[in-house]
Amino acid sequence: MCKTVIATAVLLSFIVSILLSSYCVHRYNKSSPKPPIASAEMTFRRPAQAYPISYSANNVRRGSLDSMENQVAIDNFKIPEDPKWEFPRKNLVLGKTLGEGEFGKVVKATAFRLKGKAGYTTVAVKMLKDHASHSELRDLLSEFTLLKQVNHPHVIKMYGACSQDGPLYLIVEYAKYGSLRNFLRESRKVGPSYMSGERNSSYLENPDERALTMGDLISFVWQISRGMQYLAEMKLVHRDLAARNVLVAEGRKMKISDFGLSRDVYEEDSYVKRSKGRIPVKWMAIESLFDHIYTTQSDVWSFGVLLWETVTLGGNPYPGIAPERLFNLLKTGYRMEKPENCSDEMYNLMLRCWKQESDKRPTFIDIMY
């Protein structure tokens, strides 16, 4: 009996000691700091400056979470290689910036052995800025796909692209004189007015730098109408036709450019804009402003504004009118007045392009002939 009592007491003491030990260990672990645990966030962490920066209302810099996620998406996005268009990145030497927007830029560059041609060729390269989002990459890829399909003397030509092992570069022909808007504004400094029809002394030495004549301006808009008719035949709506998006190449050849907003309307007669963003209000047709509908005939409206820009040598459309006031003015029938030195024939063409009903506007074939 004594042996049984002693054995029971020893067993109970052992159990109690185990319970006390477990309790002490639990209390210790709970109060002590834990070592860091690897996570997906840590795996993808980068230096802070690599992220895009957005600004709050009081202009305090802060990281944009959406932009961070977009940036990771861009970096992880794999563009399928197209051997027909892929150009060796090592054969491309980037130069000075020719122009830039909020998310993209164009730089002058030299390409070695472009399309099998010996030596170096001067080109322009279109690319995204570091802080561009996935939607901007999608637009650039859309332009890449579109430029593969187009081939016309008055539409900018693409030579190739660098799509692998680095940022996407679109390699296009170099336009010596930049945008038509800037070219027209620069021409104001050269010689007599285009209305005089005179030619300055540099005409034979530098034909591209001589003073403009009305015949030159008519040639410019005719070339653009040819390019736009080609796009219409391809069932493509530009959606941002303006003098700033037409380039001037050597020989004063017009090149329609900037297809970031273009859409294929082969399946539909119109494109309905569903996303928000900055829009070129003063170049947009009335149905685009009010109903977000874009067609070839809304491009014709924009062409009418481009005519006005050309005749005024790069003037700002609707001078003195704020964009937000334009909606109601156009609805009431307001249209820009005839510019100084503009012929009645040219102004009548503008007014026809600005008809409220799109089917009453001329087509690009009508404009050409």
Question: Is residue 352 marked as binding?
Answer: no
Question: Is residue 151 marked as binding?
Answer: no
Structural contact between residues 93 and 110, judged by C-beta atoms closer than 8 angstroms? yes
Question: Is residue 210 marked as binding?
Answer: no
Question: Is residue 190 marked as binding?
Answer: no
Question: Is residue 215 marked as binding?
Answer: no
AA letter at 68 = M
Question: Is residue 278 marked as binding?
Answer: no
CA distance 105 to 259: 14
Question: Is residue 338 marked as binding?
Answer: no
Structural contact between residues 98 and 178, judged by C-beta atoms closer than 8 angstroms? yes
Tell me the CA distances in angstroms from 116 to 87, 148, 160, one per residue in order: 11, 18, 12
Backbone angles phi, psi at 248, to 5 degrees: -115, 115
Backbone angles phi, psi at 45, to 5 degrees: -70, 140
String of DSSP letters for 203-222: TTT-GGGSPP-HHHHHHHHH
Question: Is residue 59 marked as binding?
Answer: no
Question: Is residue 325 marked as binding?
Answer: no
Catalytic one of 75, 216, 240, 269: 240
CA distance 368 to 123: 30
CA distance 214 to 201: 18
Is 264 labeled as catalytic in the residue annotation? Answer: no
Q: Is 276 helix (H, G, I), strand (E, B) or coil?
A: coil
Question: Is residue 75 marked as binding?
Answer: no
Question: Is residue 267 marked as binding?
Answer: no
Annotated binding site for Mg(2+): 245, 258
Annotated binding site for ATP: 99-106, 126, 244
Annotated binding site: 99-106, 126, 244-245, 258
- Active-site positions? 240
